[in-house]
Amino acid sequence: MKKLTRRTFGRWIGAFAATAAGKSLFPKPALGGAKPRAVVIGGGAAGATAARRLAEDFNAINVTLIEAHRSYASCFFFNRYVGGLRSLDSVTHDYRKLSSAFGIDTIHAEAAGIDAARKTVALKGGDTLSYDRLVVAAGIDFKDGLIDGYDETVAETLTHAYKADRQIAVLKRQLDAMKDGGLFVYHRAPKGPTGARRRPTNAPPWPPIT
């Protein structure tokens, strides 16, 4: 079995797009009609890569990316920022290049619902977007109120720094201010829904990559 890496994931997306084009997963536009539209929800590492690969490899479809925020700070590499090796800016990306270089139509809004029967995505604020194919790459997020006394307000000082947002700057400031020999309390990542912290060794194999 091949290992799933970022590179192989990128190839996967390419293969998906190739299949989409080859087997007409996207409807053919009527003569002079609008191109079929792929909509990607979430402009994180996964969604932005998927959108880019679709737009880069296929001129015959329009790609629209729906992303709630105007910039994306990657969690990977943020340890280099915390360690003083990189600036926060250098791990923060906006979406301009996806539009200018790859023609992706980026909409900064929150997707509020998907109607799979009608093939539409409802945006918070009321607009609706239709799609021919949809990629959902919204990542994971916190559920507020699950830990007594711990909410996003407390997290401003007792930071979880699990999101690459301003909490990381708080964490870095706190670490920088710490005197030698200071006390750092760290709680390891909680268990996942299956009770496991890591993918179990007897888990079914990842789908084959061709």
Ligand X SMILES: Cc1cc2nc3c(=O)[nH]c(=O)nc-3n(C[C@H](O)[C@H](O)[C@H](O)COP(=O)(O)OP(=O)(O)OC[C@H]3O[C@@H](n4cnc5c(N)ncnc54)[C@H](O)[C@@H]3O)c2cc1C
Which residues in this chain contact ligand X in the complex, by CB under 6 A? 41-47, 66-69, 72, 75-76, 110-111, 137-139, 162
Q: Which is nearer to ligand X, 72 or 131 (CB)?
A: 72
Residue 161 CA from chain centroid, whole number: 17
Q: Which is nearer to ligand X, 15 or 75 (CB)?
A: 75
Q: Which is nearer to ligand X, 69 or 199 (CB)?
A: 69
CB of 72 to ligand X, least distance (A): 5
CB of 70 to ligand X, least distance (A): 10
Task: Give whole-number Cα distances, 64 to 20, 59, 118, 148, in Å.
Answer: 16, 13, 17, 39
CB of 42 to ligand X, least distance (A): 3
Q: Judge contact between 87 and 93, C-beta under 8 A.
A: no
Residues 65 and 106: their CA atoms lie apart, in Å, by 5
CB of 25 to ligand X, least distance (A): 22
Q: Which is nearer to ligand X, 14 or 29 (CB)?
A: 14
Q: Which is nearer to ligand X, 84 or 139 (CB)?
A: 139
Residues 141 and 206: their CA atoms lie apart, in Å, by 23
Q: Which residue has the tokens 């809004």?
A: 109
CA angle 24, 28, 31 (to 5 degrees): 160
CA angle 64, 65, 71 (to 5 degrees): 145
3-state SS assignment for residue 194 = coil
Q: Which is nearer to ligand X, 103 or 139 (CB)?
A: 139
CB of 29 to ligand X, least distance (A): 27
Nearest to 52 by CA among 119, 106, 90: 106
Nearest residue to ligand X, using CB?
Answer: 44
CB of 101 to ligand X, least distance (A): 19
